[in-house]
Structure formats: structure tokens, C-alpha cells
């Protein structure tokens, strides 16, 4: 089951402590303004989690995630982790159509990934293409999977 975490009181926020990609981002930042977390649940336990930020531009830095937009056109996946092999890919497959249905103004689905070989392999294997290489990050584009 796909679950969106939008409230700072959601019990599943406690799993943010396991974020291996961007552990420095505070929990309260992740569920504020146009930011939330999607998780894939099995028996009420997460098998994967992805943090999402909505914008009207493609962020190049983590600091850009703090900028808000009135009418977002871009969903940014800025960290993802899983507890079960294959769950991260499954979560992305499920969350894309859910976001498009919930936010009809969205046309672009990208990552704000670290420049690591692990991130590159994961995103390219799951159908993304490189949108842009930034100084410290890479934006992988999943929009084609709409």
C-alpha cells in the first residue's frame, strides 16, 4: 500500500533516521510546505521511502528545496531508501501516477541525487535519464515514464 506522510505527527516519520542519502535534512523540513514522504507499506511497515518536494523549477542544490512554489510543475525525489530489495523501484513505479493524479499541474518528475555510482546505477536501471549534472548533484528525469 502506498502511503503519503504529510503530518509531523505521522508515526512513520521515525523511519527517517534510516535515510542513508541525506541524513542531515531535519525531519520537520521533510513534511512542510510542498514537501512530504511517500512510503510503500507491507503489514503497516515501510519497505521503502522517498522524500518528495514540489516546485516550479528543477532544483540544483539541497538548499533549493527550501524555495516554495505556488503552482508546482515539478516533483523532486531528493532521497530514497529501502528495507527490502526491489522496493525502491516499486515505490517509484507506484508514486509517479499517484502524484500526477493528486497534483495535475505536475509535468516533470526528477531526482536531486548525489553524484555517486550507486545513485547512477539505480536511476538508470529504473528507466530515468540524466536531465542535468550540477556541481554536487545530478537530476535524473523520470518524466518519460508518465
Q: Are 93 and 115 in contact, with CB atoms under 8 Å apart?
A: no
Nearest to 38 by CA among 5, 70, 77, 12: 5
Tell me the per-residue pLDDT of 104-124, one tens digit each, with 9 for 90 and over.
Answer: 999 999 999 999 999 999 999
Q: Which CATH number fits the domain 2-145, given the four candidates 3.40.630.150, 3.40.30.10, 3.30.2310.20, 3.20.20.210?
A: 3.40.630.150
Q: Structure pTM?
A: 0.95
The cell numbers describing 9, all together, are: 505527527
The cell numbers describing 57, all together, are: 523549477
Tell me the per-residue pLDDT of 65-100, one tens digit each, with 9 for 90 and over.
Answer: 999 888 999 999 999 999 999 999 999 999 999 999
Question: Which residues partner with 54 through β-bridges?
Answer: 75
Domain spans in the chain, listed from the N-terminal domain onward: 2-145
Q: Are 37 and 50 in contact, with CB atoms under 8 Å apart?
A: yes
Amino acid at each position: 500500500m502506498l502511503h503519503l506522510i504529510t503530518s509531523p505527527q505521522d508515526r512513520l516519520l521515525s523511519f527517517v533516521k534510516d535515510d542513508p542519502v541525506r541524513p542531515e535534512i531535519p525531519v520537520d523540513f521533510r513534511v512542510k510546505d510542498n514537501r512530504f514522504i511517500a512510503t510503500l507499506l507491507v503489514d503497516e511497515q515501510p519497505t521503502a521511502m522517498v522524500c518528495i518536494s514540489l516546485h516550479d523549477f528543477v532544483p540544483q542544490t539541497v538548499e533549493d528545496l527550501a524555495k516554495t512554489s505556488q503552482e508546482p510543475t515539478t516533483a523532486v525525489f531528493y532521497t530514497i531508501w529501502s528495507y527490502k530489495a526491489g522496493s525502491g523501484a516499486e515505490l517509484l513505479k507506484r508514486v509517479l501516477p499517484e502524484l500526477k493524479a493528486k497534483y495535475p499541474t505536475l509535468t516533470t518528475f526528477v531526482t536531486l541525487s548525489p553524484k555517486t555510482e550507486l545513485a547512477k546505477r539505480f536511476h538508470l536501471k529504473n528507466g530515468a535519464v540524466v536531465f542535468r549534472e550540477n556541481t554536487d548533484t545530478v537530476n535524473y528525469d523520470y518524466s518519460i515514464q508518465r
